[in-house]
Amino acid sequence: PMDYQVLIVGGGFSGSEAAYALACRGVRVGLLTQSLDTVYLPFTPLPEPGPEGSLMAEVGAVGMKGWELHAKAKYRLEGEPQLHLFQSSATRLVLEGRRVVGVETWEGPRRMASRVVLALGSFLMPRLTIGDVVEEAGRLSEAAYPDLYENLLALGFSFVDQHAEVAAQDGTPGYSVRYKSFAPAEWEAESFRLGRLEGLYGLGLCVLGQGTYARMASEGLRLAENFAVELG
Ligand code: FAD
């Protein structure tokens, strides 16, 4: 039995935006993310307005600080009856032949869905460098675990190297993150499919490699639009 029509892994900008837009259209969505305290949390105050019709536009404003945006967005996500936001780490895809039917989690339970969307951001094999310290983290103080990346590698997916810098701000020193994104040939931009497997989709930074918060929100809305049409 399926737990959700759509299961989204990663509660960043793209994944949250897609989950919210789908739930508002009546689709039953699971939004699984490894830390509820970093849902919809930017690295810097919001630099530009969110796209029309987005959660970013609904709760955000230019210059809004990270924690305020996070708190407001999370409140909306949790208030959406068709959306189940929960904390868990996805470690492996559950397969039936070449079809993805859910994910395994580090905590134990499998979460099943007819469509699985990976919205993993900068958390595929990241290395964060701050001063002399190197951590396995996709952002400051948010650890990344290698399991899902290793599973994707074993399934034959290929990746490319990416790099982003965060400037020093408010007494926090600057830092940089190296991470992987899916190789361009793995992802079909029009349909969001990660074509190597059925029922698997990629969204946001983990397939685009680079981009802004507003772009990630737009991509989330675009995925929701596509899925809503396909799911009737
Ligand atoms: P994210 O927002 O990164 O969200 C991904 C989520 O998935 C995370 O919460 C993570 O915990 C979760 N996750 C990952 N793997 C798993 C798993 N296996 N199980 C469960 N949960 C998982 N853009 C700007 O516009 N302005 C900036 O200043 C800016 N600075 C950036 C700095 C850095 C270091 C990086 C890497 C990117 C920056 N970007 C910036 C680019 C981009 O807009 C952001 O990275 C944006 O957060 C990407 O959105 P996303 O939804 O794709 O992923």
The per-residue pLDDT for range 152-161, each reduced to its tens digit, is 999 999 999 9
**Does ipTM surpass 0.85 in this model?**
yes
In the Cβ-directed half-sphere of 8, how many Cα atoms lie within 13 Å? 32
CA distance 212 to 91: 27
**Inter-axis angle of helices 66-78 and 13-24, to 10 degrees?**
30
Pocket of ligand 1 (CB under 6 A): 9-15, 32-35, 38, 43-44, 47, 89-90, 119-123, 138, 142, 148, 164, 166, 177, 204-205, 211-213, 216
CA distance 206 to 183: 9
Q: How far is the CA of 121 from the centre of ligand 1 (A)?
A: 4
Residue 131, pLDDT score: 92
Q: How far is the CA of 152 from the centre of ligand 1 (A)?
A: 19
List phi, psi (to 5°) of 92. -150, 155
Which ligand 1 atom is nearest residue 14's CA?
Answer: 51
Residue 43, pLDDT score: 86
Give me the residues of the chain with pLDDT under 50, please: none
Residue nearest to atom 15 of ligand 1 (CA): 120
Name the residue among 26, 25, 54, 38 with its Cα closest to residue 138.
38
In the Cβ-directed half-sphere of 138, how many Cα atoms lie within 13 Å? 22
Residue nearest to atom 21 of ligand 1 (CA): 33
Instruction: Give the long-range contacts of residues 164-168, CB within 8 A, separation 24 or more.
Output: 164/122, 164/210, 166/43, 166/44, 166/140, 167/44
Q: How far is the CA of 48 from the centre of ligand 1 (A)?
A: 17
Claim: this prediction has a pTM higher than 0.80? yes
CA distance 232 to 228: 6
